[in-house]
Amino acid sequence: MSALLEATIVATDRPCPDVAQIDLLPHGEGIVFEPGGHIDVHLPLEGGVQVRSYSHVAIGPDRSLRIAVKLLPDSRGGSRAMGRLRPGDRITISAARNDFPLSFAAPRHAFLAGGIGITPILAQARALKEAGRDFTLRYCVRDRASAPWIAQMQAEFGAAFALHDDSAQGLLDAPTFVDGLGPETELYLCGPYPMMAAVKSAWAAAGRAPARLRYESFANSGATDSVPFTVRVVETGTEVAVRRDQSLLDALLMAGQPVMYDCRRGECGLCKVEIEEIDGEVDHRDVFLGEQGRKGALCACVSRLRGGTAQIRIDSISHGPSV
Amino acid sequence: MLNTPFPQDAWYALAWQDEAGRKLSHRKVCGHDIVFYRTQAGKVAALADVCWHRLVPLSKGQLDGDTVVCPYHGLKYEPGGRCVHMPSQDTINPSASVRAFPVEERHRLIWIWPGDPKLADPALIPDMGRLDHPDWAGDGTHIHAQCNFQLVLDNLMDLTHETFVHAGSIGNEAVAEAPFDVSHGDRKATVTRWMIDSIPANFWAAQLPGVPKVDRWQIIHFTAPSTIQIDVGVAPTGTGAPGGDRSQGRNAWVINTITPETDSTCHYFWAFVRNFDTTNQSTTNAHRDGVRHVFRQDEEILAQQQRAMEAYPDKTFYNLNIDAGAMWARRINQQMLDEEDARRQSLRAVG
């Protein structure tokens, strides 16, 4: 992991009521700004320091980084703490590997952002614009009032920018959107889980090259709103109650249950736990498990039950491709 | 003496065209380990030579169709650097990729842009058109030089050293004692030296048999950050070469482009091309072997110079008037570095 750096908040704003825009100035050498990249913020939260990742949207002439945080009622505590930051406050950050790099080699680019998923996409679109390259950017919002930077992007990107307002137009139809992209187009996607799942499925159905669909997940939204549920760990007999603002993984760890994990974003599959019995349904929010793998298992870092209870195993987990 | 830093936002020669094939090759450029190969369609791909998963060099793996297979766990990457296969799972991690570098093929060389990819405009590749022009013939090679790239530039920007390092071939008394002009422009510097009515050094005497005195020229063209093309030749004294009539003479170009590898090593690509006797392979071989011999002498001096810089970190170079061309090259490169730094600092704040 990269070294920890102190950073001072230099400005805050609310580009819309439930988004906090934060400019922070890292001390020392600063942080390399790359379109699509993010920083890790180390927050003192319940149960100790927790790491949250935020895409950097822009870098200022003073080398301050701009991030934006959606203020969520279901937050695991991170967005509440971030929303309280004021100029002069200090936080601890670290540089992170760019997990959503932009390729200039692609013959054509399209961007699709949903809600706060605009943060890495905006930085990428600006990089392409600076390079004088063509692209299209579709920005899906629940309604105009709950989305940052609409007017600014209209002015900045002109005809390349198109807004999709769910409240007026309904949810984006993923197959139609994918069909509308030219061949060889590389699509960069970031948004809530259901939207990403619909686009991934439409992409595969259209027979497009998997490597040309680039996406980044942010692990805090599912097909349904988060609700509390409970699990019983078979190996230890421990009952664990999971609050709506807490992940299954965090609840297990806080209850002292030995669970392996790494990415905390539903990507690596190391936190897979297996379901012995379930009274309820699973809201899968990971990008790791395939259709088969989802039968009888879930990624504890992001996926959860839609209420109810389950008996899970946390040891002797079967890994590997489904047969 | 400290090593000179190098700009990243520039095209550098990665390899001669024939070095890239249907196999994985490795070279380090500006501190980046690169694996490169040709796709089945013949296009060159250049990727970071570090597996995303466990950092093992991909160049030790295999080529499977157009994909690179990591030798350790079999992760596969396509020419754009995206992972297209992972062992033991149904899906592919969305962030799994290695950096793909912009590459272009031009003038018999493969060029790579190690810096900010959005600035990689192929129009910025140095014009080395004599390397693939039908009026010019000749050949060269690649030297893995054990010195900072700037030392090679210094060497080529001042040919006074020919008298001492290359006595017996291209150097003689006339070189070190003839006056020279130095000029500079945007991203360019030029050093011009005419040795009027001079005794030709051995190499040139052999190109114009029976001519006792010549007007000899060396016109050194620097293009930032590291390309130096030298217009060299001789004509019988008084036949008008200084005024532009080279018809009685012999003209060749020494084409050089230097690619930093690390702070203290570099890749030196060179060729020697001529516009006379162009269909004779024996002449091509003789010139290439002759220049190779000459450049080995430089290589040895430069490696010794690098070792001395490391042995005496507190000592700096003293500059003489013969170093004027090299000084302009250094200043122009420093401007490039300053601009690069300013770009990194001034990415706009909006949002």
Return d(Cα B110, Cα B267) in angstroms, integer. 13
Instruction: Determine contact: A58 vs chain B, CB below 8 A.
Output: yes
Strands A108-114 and A185-190: parallel
- The beta-carbon neighbor of B94 closest among A66, A216, A320 is A216
User: For B144-182, what is each residue's pLDDT tens digit?
Assistant: 999 999 999 999 999 999 999 999 899 999 889 999 999
- What average pLDDT does range B336-346 have in this prediction? 84
119-138 in chain B: CB under 8 A from chain A: 119-120
Instruction: Determine contact: A185 vs chain B, CB below 8 A.
Output: no
Q: Return the number of CB contacts < 8 Å for A and B.
A: 96
What is the least distance, in Å, from the CA of A251 to any CA of chain B? 25
Chain-chain contact of B89 with A66 (C-beta, under 8 angstroms): no
Instruction: Determine contact: B279 vs chain A, CB below 8 A.
Output: no
Find the DSSP H helices in A101-183. 118-130, 150-157, 166-169, 174-179
What is the least distance, in Å, from the CA of A174 to any CA of chain B? 19
Q: Is the dihedral of CA A92, A95, A97, A102 positive or negative?
A: positive
A127 token code pair: 């990089």
Q: Find the helix or strand (DSSP H, E) in which B333 lies.
A: helix B324-345
83-122 in chain B: CB under 8 A from chain A: 83-84, 88-95, 97, 99-100, 102, 117-120
Instruction: Determine contact: A72 vs chain B, CB below 8 A.
Output: no
What pLDDT is recorded for position B348?
A: 37
What pLDDT is recorded for position A105?
A: 86
User: For B212-262, what is each residue's pLDDT tens digit?
Assistant: 999 999 999 999 999 999 999 999 999 999 999 999 999 999 999 999 999
Q: Pick from A212, A42, A193: which is nearest to A116 by CA?
A: A193
Residue with tokens 């392979």: B281
Chain-chain contact of A105 with B78 (C-beta, under 8 angstroms): no
Stretches where chain A sits below pLDDT 50 are none
pLDDT mean across residues, chain B: 95
What is the least distance, in Å, from the CA of B184 to any CA of chain A? 29
**Is B289 strand, coil or helix?**
helix
What pLDDT is recorded for position A223?
A: 80
Exposure of A254 by Cβ count < 10 A (0-12 exposed, 13-18 middle, 19+ buried)?
Answer: middle
Residue B349: pLDDT band by 50, 70, 90 thresholds? very low
Q: Is residue B193 pLDDT above 70, yes or no?
A: yes
What pLDDT is recorded for position A224?
A: 84
Q: Give, as one character, the DSSP assignment of residue B263.
A: T
Mutate to test the interface with B, among A32, A59, A67 (most CBs of B within 10 A): A59
Instruction: Determine contact: A104 vs chain B, CB below 8 A.
Output: yes
Burial A232-242 (b: 16+ CB within 10 A, else e): ebbeeeeebeb
> ipTM of the predicted structure?
0.83
Give the CA angle between residues B24, B27, B31 to the nearest 5°.
Answer: 135
What pLDDT is recorded for position A231?
A: 98
**Is B284 strand, coil or helix?**
helix
Q: Find the helix or strand (DSSP H, E) in which B162 lies.
A: helix B162-165
What pLDDT is recorded for position A74?
A: 64
Q: Is residue B59 pLDDT above 60, yes or no?
A: yes
Return d(Cα A145, Cα A168) in angstroms, integer. 12
Chain-chain contact of A216 with B78 (C-beta, under 8 angstroms): no
Chain-chain contact of B351 with A216 (C-beta, under 8 angstroms): no
**Is A115 strand, coil or helix?**
helix
* Closest chain B residue by Cα to residue A20: B351
Instruction: Determine contact: A323 vs chain B, CB below 8 A.
Output: no
* Closest chain A residue by Cα to residue B83: A211
Single-letter amino acid, residue B241: A
Instruction: Determine contact: A210 vs chain B, CB below 8 A.
Output: yes
84-103 in chain A: CB under 8 A from chain B: 97, 99-101, 103
Q: Pick from A139, A146, A132, A153: which is nearest to A110 by CA?
A: A139
Strands A19-26 and A297-299: unpaired
For the beta carbon of residue B146, count every other beta carbon within 10 angstroms.
18
Return d(Cα A34, Cα A28) in angstroms, integer. 18
Return d(Cα A260, Cα A303) in angstroms, integer. 15
Mutate to test the interface with B, among A104, A157, A186 (most CBs of B within 10 A): A104
Contacts 24+ apart (CB under 8 A), A46-52: A46/A77, A47/A250, A47/A253, A47/A254, A49/A92, A50/A76, A50/A77, A50/A78, A50/A250, A51/A264, A52/A78, A52/A82
**What is the distance in angstroms between the CA of the first residue and the CA of the last residue of chain B?**
44
**What is the distance in angstroms between the CA of the first residue and the CA of the last residue of chain A?**
35
For the beta carbon of residue A197, count every other beta carbon within 10 angstroms.
16
Number of residues assigned to chain A? 323
